[in-house]
Chains A and B, each alone.
Chain A
Amino acid sequence: MEGMQGMSSFSNGFSSSSNLLEVRNLKKYFPLKGLFFTKGYVKAVDNVTFEIRKGETFGLVGESGCGKTTVGRTILRLIEPTDGQIIYDGRDITKFKKKDMDWFRRKAQIMFQDPYSSLNPRQTVFQIVMEPVNHHGIDVHDPEAFVIDLLEKVGLNEGHLYRYPHEFSGGQRQRIALARILSLKPEFVVLDEPTSALDVSVQANILNTLKDIQGELDLTYLFISHDLAIVKYMSHRLGVMYLGKLVEVGNSDGIFEEPLHPYTKALFSAIPIPDPEIEKRKEKLVVKGEPPSPINPPSGCRFHPRCPFAREICSQKEPELKKVGSDHEVACWLY
């Protein structure tokens, strides 16, 4: 299979000991159904390869429609991948049957963006938090004490136990969702835009709680967001996606210090810095146009129609991820 060049950072074996999750050549194509035939595919995720190390936060950034959410859901097999491998703790979960999936679903959890639609309005907080535990048939000695303990971990308290979701604010609802996630003692959590629906003053609270809990419970996060400032705050390592492709991946500080891919540069330069002294003087790299449709993506490098540095090869041949630093890979013909 082509695309193996993109895996230069891997050792030969299936998984090196520090990687909790390895995603290799992941593809997710959604068919566009016509009356009789499939008219084409939306290539939401196309040949994406990266790894997440134990205990780290891996940030996945990109604009709407770039496929970051699809990656997050495919990794958990909430959406079945079209092709590729997802290796969790040395085992390929794409081959898992039901019993193994049950095991995996206890280890890996997801937190959704919208706290207003992810909680059942007819259940109390106690029922919400206990549901996964009951589903997996786990024996809990004292359910009430168990839930209270979880609520306290996420910044809620005993008084919230028998209340319903509508009685809570957005930030508190995300805390309930977090308590539910923690009830299964997971190792890996996909955080899909967990604070996008919240105001900044509340957002900071939730991000801090997520950080604290990560240290306390030794969790590994995949943090999906369109907000670069937050991703920088949360992530150790980082992947930048554009139109279904990973264009740059590596150590977060390294990428922020020296972004290499022109799209990453444009993205970084487009975020308004909350400091007028810097922002008003900043030279901006404003790219033209908007992301094209993933149904018929541009040939070669998918960013080339908007790229100020595009050359002939860019429209002809697709660049693979190439190692440019100790933990820094970029898919661009400039390097």
Chain B
Amino acid sequence: MIGTEKILEVKDLTVHFYTYAGVVKAIEKVSFDVYKGETFALVGETGCGKSVTARALTQLIESPGRIVEGEVYYHRDGETIDLLKLGEEEIREYRGKEIAYIFQDPQSSLDPLYSIGYQVSEALFVHKMVKSIKEGVKRAVDILRTVLMPDPEKRVSNYPHELSGGMKQRVTIGIGIANNPRILIADEPTTALDVTVQAQILNLIKEMKERYGATVLLITHDMGVVADMADRVAVMYAGKIVELADVFTIFKKPIHPYTRGLLKAVPNPLVKIERLEAIPGTVPSLINPPSGCRFNPRCNQATEICRSKVPELEEVEDGHFVACHG
């Protein structure tokens, strides 16, 4: 199913936020490739930089944040474009059209003053897929039908406040897929939803992916969602990728102590667990991150070198990358 053709190549992506308290090094030299047609998951806890990474891919970083370093190569029909070298106008050609986003909170990603039909239509109109908003609203009915919105002819003139959370997320997915994107970036798309609705939305994303052959970049903190959706996984901690492999390897043979700790800390509802194993301590401040490996203060296997030298992400076996001195 997964090709070997790269669609995205992220190299040394670094984003800093210049705040009054100091420079927050949100992500440092993050590198990974995404293959065409796969679902690539970025996982980690609050503040690990997974959302910043996803946003930085199309320069969606606002002041006081700045992309300090790095390249994002986007491959399309034999041509290669560095998305970070594009100007503000140029990147808009890609963002929302070839690379679309679904965000966590459907409440704040929809405009309360416009009908949902208008908002889907706008996404089409901006990218010149339709000649007028009116024509777009007609198309919006079909799009809402594809995202399994009940009664789309009527719903198209509803406003966001008239819809439930799950319905709103269907609309934002509709906006996301409106232009038939090649890459769909879903940033915690179900975190604001209840589990039974989450199951519906995850199914929908899978269906959309199959129907349009899109590549999905999924950002989540939920290891269950990763197990369900992902083909390959990158685990992030404190602004760095610590481990990257296919989903089965990550769950079966995790190597990095953080990945292992994270997996043990998540209760599996099918297994009777006597005692969860917790990771001691908390996530460090990214203004003054720990020297060497950023996980070393919480790691029970840390040695001298972990405190002094930053471990590089190295391939330990085919397709399995780990950044650890151990």
Contacts and interface: CB of A to CB of B under 8 A. Distances in A.
A253 B271 CA distance: 10
Given A199-B283, A208-B275, A270-B198, A229 B267 contact: yes
Interface in A250-266: 253, 256, 266
Interface string B269-280: 110110111111
A271 B223 CA distance: 11
Interface in A194-240: 199-205, 207-208, 211, 226, 228-230, 232-233
B194 A229 contact: no
Given A169-B282, A272-B222, A275-B227, A204 B265 contact: yes
Interface residues of A, number: 44
Contact of B221 (A200, A269, A280): A200
Given A233-B267, A271-B269, A200 B228 contact: no
B203 interface: yes
Given A199-B46, A201-B262, A204-B279, A273 B269 contact: yes
Contact of A274 (B166, B197, B263, B280): B263
A302 B261 CA distance: 41
Contacts of B247: 276
B48 to A, nearest CB: 9
Interface string B205-246: 000000000000000011111111010000000000000000
Interface centre among A233, A256, A275, A288, by most chain B C-beta atoms within 10 angstroms, is: A275
Contacts of B196: 63, 266-267, 270, 286-287, 290
A101 B261 CA distance: 44
B199 A200 contact: no
B266 A279 contact: no
Contacts of B202: 272
Contact of B195 (A205, A233, A267): A267
B266 A229 contact: yes
Contact of B276 (A171, A204, A284): A204
B164 A290 contact: yes
Given A201-B262, A277-B251, 6 more contacts: A63-B194, A200-B265, A205-B278, A273-B268, A274-B251, A274-B266
Interface of B: 45-46, 164-167, 194-200, 202-203, 221-228, 230, 247-248, 251-252, 261-270, 272-273, 275-280, 282-283
Interface of A: 63-64, 169, 171-172, 199-205, 207-208, 211, 226, 228-230, 232-233, 253, 256, 266-280, 284, 286-288, 290-291
